[in-house]
Amino acid sequence: MTIVRFVSADGRDTSEVEAAKGSRLLDVAQADGQPLEGTCEGQMACSTCHVIVDAGDFAALPPPSEMEEDLLDLAAGVTRHSRLACQIWLEPGLASLTVRMPATSRDMQGR
Ligand code: FES
């Protein structure tokens, strides 16, 4: 079991779920109603599953592939801790993982 915490783009809302080991982060996020489209369903062709991993948790994940890094270059609101949720599997030993939704133009409304 991994405790996954989702934080909204503005940081105001958080959601905490228990995910089975081996789950894919994109599937866990979608099951929790997080706003990740995942249009290409993990084929690494869309970057609509972009999330920002907590700085402390980032190093605990296997590093991204070159293809993932290339795709992240095209995503909006990318940070040093950005990842594609379709490329993150919750491996045994990962007790918890905190990820934030990236800011999008829609989330910027009301600023
Ligand atoms: Fe398309 Fe992750 S779902 S790149």
Please, which residues bridge with residue 32 across strands?
Answer: none
Measure the CA–CA gap between 95 and 97, rounded to whole angstroms. 7
Residue 105 falls within a domain, yes or no? no
CATH, residue 45: 3.10.20.30
Whole-number pLDDT of residue 104 = 72
12, two tokens: 């105001």
Q: Which ligand 1 atom sits nearest the alpha carbon of residue 87?
A: 2
Q: Give the total number of structural domains in the chain.
A: 1
Residue 108 falls within a domain, yes or no? no
| Ligand 1 pocket check for 36: Cβ under 6 Å | no
Residue 49 falls within a domain, yes or no? yes
| Ligand 1 pocket check for 45: Cβ under 6 Å | yes
Range of the domain at 62: 2-100
Cβ-based burial of 88 (10 A; exposed 0-12, middle 13-18, buried ≥19): buried
| Ligand 1 pocket check for 64: Cβ under 6 Å | no
How do residues 10-47 score in pLDDT, each as one tens digit?
999 999 999 999 999 999 999 999 999 999 999 999 99
Measure the CA–CA gap between 86 and 31, rounded to whole angstroms. 13
| Ligand 1 pocket check for 61: Cβ under 6 Å | no
Has residue 7 got a pLDDT over 50?
yes
How do residues 41-99 score in pLDDT, each as one tens digit?
999 999 999 999 999 999 999 999 999 999 999 898 999 999 999 999 999 999 999 99
Comparing 2-6, 41-45, 61-65, 101-105, which segment has the lowest mean pLDDT? 101-105
| The one-letter amino acid at 38 | G
Mutation probe of ligand 1 site: the residue of 86, 88, 99 with most atoms within 8 A of C-beta: 86
Across the range 1-14, mean pLDDT stands at 97
Residue 27 falls within a domain, yes or no? yes
Ligand 1 centroid to residue 80 C-alpha, Å: 18
Q: Which ligand 1 atom sits nearest the alpha carbon of residue 41?
A: 3
